[in-house]
Amino acid sequence: MTAPNDETPTPDLLYSEAEEDLRAAVRSLLADRSDAPTVLARVESDTPYDPQLWKVLAADIGAAGLLVPEELGGQGAGHREAAVVLEELGRGVTPAPYLTSAVVATETLLALSVREGPAIALLGELAAGRRVAVLAAPFAAGRPGGAQPVAVVADTLEGTVTGVADAAAADVLLVPATDGLYAVEPGAEGVAVEPLVPLDLTRPLATVTLRGAAGTRLADGASAVGAVRRGLLAGAGLLASEQFGLAEWCLTETVRYTRERHQFNRPVGSFQALKHRMAQLWLEVVSARAAARNAADALASGSPDAPLAVAVAQAYCSGVAVRAAEECVQLHGGIGMTWEHPAHLYLKRAKADSVAYGTAGQHRTTIAELVELPAP
């Protein structure tokens, strides 16, 4: 990319009516099946994911197939619509493998540019919500393309991938290996998925160990590298919408609470010191929405501006989500420190999200390259 000029594209940063309808459907589902007490109860159980919730979200509402063309069994929508789903999942800090399966794994398979074979069959299964696939790359995989491939020894896979998000919920692992991309069944011989104790209870992490594991090869080396990069780019870009949704919930809830909570014979929300903090946060939240919509729109239109739009959104939205969650805890006072109030779930999700798919600093480094503001 050359230095910026007047030819920057004009994105569509609003929501369409269809997107608002989709949002309403997802929000209503989450209100019914995944309110805060339900989420809290689930995260300490052995099954953090509610299969019924996933079935309705992925299959009945059709959210899992938004990125997938209709002829491949999907909804033929795009990243803008998937971003709206993620806004709602962020608002509800919902445990569901949407970002990892319906966005990253799906986008990776789509980017293989094949029209038939096992990758296409799998894509159809993902789009229909019948299976969940997860890319076997660290959730913290710095910059897009930064994932280390596992080794291929005598036609079997050998290696360890740490910190894989949602691996525990996966029916299929997409494993980037030195000579291509493989589909691996988590229950197969030589495959171990060991749960870790995650900071973010609503998105489990696991270590995937492959010892002579067999897999189905979906693509060769060069094709796999490009596809994984695109999967991670879409993941980073749409994560910004999850971060925006999360931040918006934190602000709304904090405003609601400080209007009701009285101290010193006044609602605490009437104190200027607190009002200014919430007003400042509001400004950051509406800015985060613009940045996140810009990334979703750039991904949807296949704009050459997409890598920059994604890096800008990530460099900005990560910090806003963390700040919103931190302010939410602080302005709730002691209640914000309790286990029963959901604020901690938001803080944990926001902080983990700020590392996921690259930290803000790593995305700024990408920006420095893209807009030619080189380091000394």
Partner 1 sequence: MTAPDAAGLHRRTQDLLAAHPPATTGRTEFLKARFDAGLAWVHYPAGLGGLDAPRSLQPVVDAELAAAGAPDNDPRRIGIGLGMAAPTVLGFGTDEQKQRFLRPLWVGEEVWCQLFSEPGAGSDLAALGTRAVRDGEDWVVDGQKVWTSSAHLARWAILIARTDPDLPKHRGISYFICDMTDPGVEVRPLRQITGEAEFNEVFLTGVRIPDSRRLGPVGEGWKVAQTTLMNERVSIGGARVPREGGMIGPVARTWRERPELRTHDLHQRLLTLWVEAEVARLTGTRLRQQLVAGQPGPEGSGMKLAFARLNQEISGLEVELLGEEGMLYSDWTMRRPELVDFTGRDAGYRYLRSKGNSIEGGTSEVLLNIVAERVLGLPAEPRNDKDVPWKDLAR
- The two tokens of residue 58 are 């992925």
Q: Is 307 in the site for partner 1 (CB under 8 A)?
A: no
**Chain residues 314-373 in contact with partner 1, contact rule CB under 8 A:** 315-316, 361, 364-365, 367-368, 371-373
Are 228 and 145 contacting, i.e. CB atoms less than 8 angstroms apart? yes
Are 61 and 33 contacting, i.e. CB atoms less than 8 angstroms apart? no
Strands 172-177, 180-184: parallel, antiparallel or unpaired by DSSP?
Answer: antiparallel
Q: Toward partner 1, which CB reaches closer, 180 or 269?
A: 269
Are 173 and 167 contacting, i.e. CB atoms less than 8 angstroms apart? yes
**Chain residues 183-242 in contact with partner 1, contact rule CB under 8 A:** none
Q: Kindly give, in sequence order, each residue whose CB lies less than 8 Å from that of residue 34, ignoring residues fewer than 6 positions away.
A: 50, 53, 92, 94, 95
Q: Is 12 in the site for partner 1 (CB under 8 A)?
A: yes
Candidates 77, 183, 279, 335; binder of partner 1 (CB under 8 A) is: 279
CA distances from 344 to 84, 260, 278, 324, 341 (A): 23, 20, 18, 12, 7
Which range of residues in 102-110, 170-178, 269-277, 339-347 is near partner 1 by CB under 8 A? 269-277
Q: What gap in Å lies between CA 109 and CA 129, rounded to an integer?
A: 15
Q: What gap in Å lies between CA 91 and CA 264, rounded to an integer?
A: 32
Candidates 120, 128, 214, 290; binder of partner 1 (CB under 8 A) is: 290
Cα 194–185–191 angle (5° rounding)?
A: 40
Candidates 14, 24, 31, 192; binder of partner 1 (CB under 8 A) is: 14
Q: Is 258 in the site for partner 1 (CB under 8 A)?
A: yes
Taking the complex as a whole, the smallest distance from the CB of residue 82 to partner 1 amounts, in Å, to: 19
Q: Toward partner 1, which CB reaches closer, 28 or 270?
A: 270
Q: Is 293 in the site for partner 1 (CB under 8 A)?
A: yes
Q: Is 60 in the site for partner 1 (CB under 8 A)?
A: no
Where along the sequence are the contacts to partner 1 (CB under 8 A)? 3-6, 8, 10-14, 255, 258-259, 266-267, 269-272, 275-276, 278-280, 282-283, 286-291, 293-294, 312, 315-316, 361, 364-365, 367-368, 371-376
